[in-house]
Amino acid sequence: MTLETAGPAIDETLVRALPKAEVHVHLEGCFDLADLLELARAADEPLPGPAATLFDVDTHDVPGGAPGALSAFLRFLDWEGGLVRTPEQAARAAYRFAARESASGVRYADVIINPTHWGAWHGRLGALFAAFAAGLDEAEQDGLCVVNLCASLLRQQSPAEAAELVDWIVEARPPRLVALSIDGDERAAGRTGPRFAEAFGRAADAGLRRTVHAGESSGPQGVWDALDLLRAERIDHGVRAAEDPTLLRRLADSQVPLGVCPRSNLALGLYPDRASHPLPALRAAGVAVTVNTDDPAAMGYRLESEWVACADAYGWGLADLAGLARASIAASFAPPELQAALLADVDRFVAGRTRS
C-alpha cells in the first residue's frame, strides 16, 4: 500500500528528521559493544565469545535453555543484563538508551525491561527501576527524548510470579513505569495467555497499559489470546496474524497496533527475506502497524536504517513514512498532550518537505 512514490529522497537523514516514537525496543538489546566490554571488565566476567564477534550469539557458549536462534539470543540478553551491578551502571544504561533513540530522531519511546534478564537485581526491583528513572530524568533534562518503562514478564514464569510483579508495580508506582508487558519464546513456553490473564486483568484495573509479545515464534493463536485474555492495547510483533484472515479483520477493526520489527524477524529466521515478510500485507489489510528495532545494538542496526530498508523494499515514499510516524505516536503510551504535540510536529515536517 504505497501512498506516494514521488517527493523527497528517502534516506537516513530524512528519517532522522521525521518526528516519531518507538514502541517495541528492549533496553537489554541496546548495549553497544563498548558498553559490554566495559561492564564485563568491571564485573570481572569473561566474554561468552570473541570481542569482535560478540553479537554472533548462536556461536557462544552460554549455558541453559532450549536450542534455537531465539533461545540463544535470550540467553545472551541474560548475560548482558547480568553485567549491570550498580545503580550508576543502570542509570547510565538508561541514559545511553535515550541518547541512542534521540540520535535516530525518536521523540518518545516505550522501552521494555524484563527483570529476569537483570540477574544481580533479584529482590531489588525498586532500586533497579529507580536507577533507570534517574538516568532517564537526566537524559530528559539534557534535551534527549522522553522515555517511559514497560516492565515485562517472561513467558516461563508462573501465575504467582506474574501477580507478584503486578502487585509490586501497583503498590510502589515506580517513576516512569507505565505498562505491563510479556515477552520470551512463545514456541518454548507454549500457550501462556490463560496463565497470565489474571495478572494482566489486575494491571488493567489498576490503570496500567498493556503490551504483549505475540504472533512471532508461535502462530495467530497467541495474538487472539493477547486480545481476548490479556486485554492487550498493543501487540509486539504480531506478524503471524497475517496467516488468519479473521484475525486480520479483528485487528483492522479494533486498530490495536502491531509493533513490528522486520529485521529482527529476519535475523531470528522467522522469514528468509523482506519480500516474504508480511508487513506490506498487514498494512494493506488496514492494520495499524509501526516499525521498530526490537534489539538494535545486538543486531547491528538503527531505527533510521530500518525505515530506509523498508522504504527501499516496499516502494514507500514520504507520505508512507509520515503515516508510520503518526502510527508510532498514536500507538505509544505517551501522555495525550505529548502525543498531540508530536502529531502536530509531524504535520509541520511533512508540510515543510512538501513545499520544498
Percent over 70 (pLDDT), the chain: 94
pTM over the 0.85 mark? yes
How many Å apart are CA 224 and CA 220, to the nearest integer? 7
CB distance 296 to 303 below 8 Å: yes
Does position 70 have pLDDT exceeding 80, yes or no? no
Does position 83 have pLDDT exceeding 80, yes or no? yes
Burial level of 110, CB count in 10 A (0-12/13-18/19+)?
A: buried
Q: Kindly indicate the confidence band of residue 355, based on its pLDDT and cuts at 50, 70 and 90.
A: low
∠ CA 28-31-35, nearest 5°, is 135
33-72 burial string, b = 16+ CB within 10 Å, else e?
Answer: eebbeebbeeeeeeebbeeeebbebeebebeebeebebbb
How many Å apart are CA 269 and CA 291, to the nearest integer? 18
How many Å apart are CA 160 and CA 64, to the nearest integer? 23
Q: Kindly indicate the confidence band of residue 354, based on its pLDDT and cuts at 50, 70 and 90.
A: confident
Average pLDDT over residues 59-64: 46
Residues 218-277 have pLDDT tens digits of: 899 999 999 999 999 999 999 999 999 999 999 999 999 999 999 999 998 999 999 999
Does position 171 have pLDDT exceeding 60, yes or no? yes
**304 counts as catalytic:** no
| List 216, 233, 304, 306, catalytic entry | 216
Q: How many angstroms separate the Cα of 198 from the Cα of each of 11, 174, 231, 281? A: 45, 21, 10, 33
Residue entry with cell 530498508:
309
Please tell me what DSSP assigns to residue 294.
B
How many Å apart are CA 262 and CA 131, to the nearest integer? 31
CB distance 120 to 82 below 8 Å: yes
Q: Kindly indicate the confidence band of residue 5, based on its pLDDT and cuts at 50, 70 and 90.
A: very low
CATH number of 12-355: 3.20.20.140
Between these two residues, 9 and 4, which has the higher pLDDT value?
Answer: 9
Helix or strand run (H / E) with residue 107: strand 106-113
Name the least confident of 27-41, 87-101, 181-195, 196-210.
181-195
